[in-house]
Amino acid sequence: MPLYEYTCRGCGRRFEVLQRVGADARDVVCPGCGGHEVAKQHSTFASAVAGSSGSGPMPCGAPSASSCSSGGFS
């Protein structure tokens, strides 16, 4: 299940909720004020290749993902 970010329209608190894909906000409650008026936020995510320290060649052996024909994954 993915982690979604919400902002409470009542108190302005930003918080995260673990939800099923496609679930809506009708059952989401603000942990700060208990309010039900929340807005789903756009968020970013980070990923890493297992065993990668963030430097060195990509799994395909190229110096960057743009050089790999499969986008860095084989």
CATH of the domain at 24: 2.20.28
Q: Which range of residues forms the domain containing residue 25? A: 1-43
In a domain, 63, yes or no: no
pTM above the 0.95 mark? no
What was the pLDDT predicted at 74? Answer: 42
Q: What is the mean pLDDT of the chain?
A: 77
What burial letters (b/e) apply to 26-64, b meaning 16+ CB within 10 Å?
eebebeeeeeeebeeeeeeeeeeeeeeeeeeebeeeeee
Q: At residue 73, what is the residue type?
A: F
Residue 59 to residue 3: CA distance in whole angstroms: 27
Number of domains within the chain = 1
**Quick one: pLDDT at residue 71?**
46
